[in-house]
Amino acid sequence: MAAQSPKKQLALDANILFDLAAEKDFAHTFREINQERGHSLRVPPTVIQELTHCALEKPTPDSALALKALQQMRNWGLLPFDLISCGHAITEQFAQKLIKKGYLPEGEFNDGLILAETALACIPILVTSDNHLLDIDNTILRVQFEDSDLFPVFACRPGALLRALK
């Protein structure tokens, strides 16, 4: 089987999986259109950890949605990915760098991890509705990736990506 081109892959943030679990039409439309176009929808390791924590360790109103997202990933055609062990140190350094420079707030360490995990997987776009990620200027973000010798990733709203595909 041929390797998937980075341009044919999209990484999904946890909020997109919550939207799928909540049966939000836009999320399923986004998933279906992208899969029809041959895009592989990938789930970073930190997203899996966030969903697992919410589903099993931290009872909240969203716990049932988190559990449903974990259970339905395969049915939705979403593919989790993992990193080699040294990748975890790289992602932590990158997340700390974004926080230290003020591009992410202190409490958003996982957002930095998800960006770096997506970069290490050479996936060009992280689909999210998280304003902490979307508010980082794409030029600034690209410079941070290049300074860290990482593949550049852009955060994009699902609706904006759907409009661009039409």
Give the neighbor-by-neighbor strand order of the sheet with 40-43: 78-80, 40-43, 9-12, 125-127, 154-156
**pTM of the predicted model as reported, rounded to 2 decimal places:** 0.90
- Residue 131 phi, psi dihedral angles, 5° rounding: -65, -25
Tokens read off for 64: 């049932």
Q: Residue ranges per domain, the chain? A: 6-159
Asked if 85 and 48 count as a contact pair (C-beta separation under 8 A), the reply is: no
Give the whole-angstrom CA distance, residue 113 versus residue 109.
6
Give the ranges where the chain is alpha helix by DSSP (H).
14-21, 25-36, 45-52, 63-72, 85-100, 109-120, 131-134, 138-147, 158-165
- Give Cα 22 distance to the centre of its chain: 18
Identify the CATH assignment for 6-159 out of 3.40.50.720, 3.40.50.1010, 3.30.450.20, 3.30.420.40.
Answer: 3.40.50.1010
pLDDT, one tens digit per residue, over 10-67 is 999 999 999 999 999 999 999 999 999 999 999 999 999 999 999 998 788 899 999 9
Give the confidence band of 138 by pLDDT, cuts at 50, 70, 90. Answer: very high
